Homo-oligomer: A and B are copies of this chain.
Amino acid sequence: MDLTEAEARRRFTESPSAVLATADADGRPHAVPVVHIVIGDHVYIAIDDKPKKMSDPLRLKRLRNIAANPQVCVLAEFYDEDWTYLWWVRADGIARVISFDDGPEGLLGAFHDRHPFHATQPPSGPVVDVEVTRWTGWAFSVL
């Protein structure tokens, strides 16, 4: 059944990970797992990749796609073999690439607090800032 917007936001916010879908200028989709923080109507996504082959993280495909086409979709979901537990939430919006300095106060700390890995190895790259225009969600059953 469809989730209310409030319940969709709650589940999305609490989900430890999500998938970021972008598309390039030719409309070719690209999906990658991400970690995120929700503040208001913005989803912030840390870029943790330290690509061996590229010194400039802005060359990452997801960031090149956003530069060419800022429309993005971020999906949080839960899978279990017992499908009565399934749910997903989709945040559709417009993305831009910023630095932590350009983000809201406390953003870096929020990533630190959220993920044990970030506590020891803070995200240092660019940040994807998604202004969400639509929250939608579904659950097999709402408990």
Contact = CB atoms under 8 A, between A and B. Distances in A.
Report, as a range, how many residues of chain A touch the other chain: 20 to 34
A112 B73 CA distance: 31
A90 B29 CA distance: 11
B88 A32 contact: yes
Interface of A: 16-17, 19, 21-33, 69, 71-75, 77, 79, 81-83, 86, 88, 90, 92, 115-117
A73 B27 contact: no
Contact of A29 (B16, B71, B77): B71
B27 A69 contact: yes
Contacts of A31: 19, 21, 31, 73-75, 90
Nearest to A88: B33
Contact of A28 (B23, B26, B90, B117): B23
A27 B27 contact: yes
10 contacts: A17-B79, A22-B29, A27-B27, A28-B71, A29-B29, A29-B72, A30-B73, A31-B74, A31-B75, A33-B86
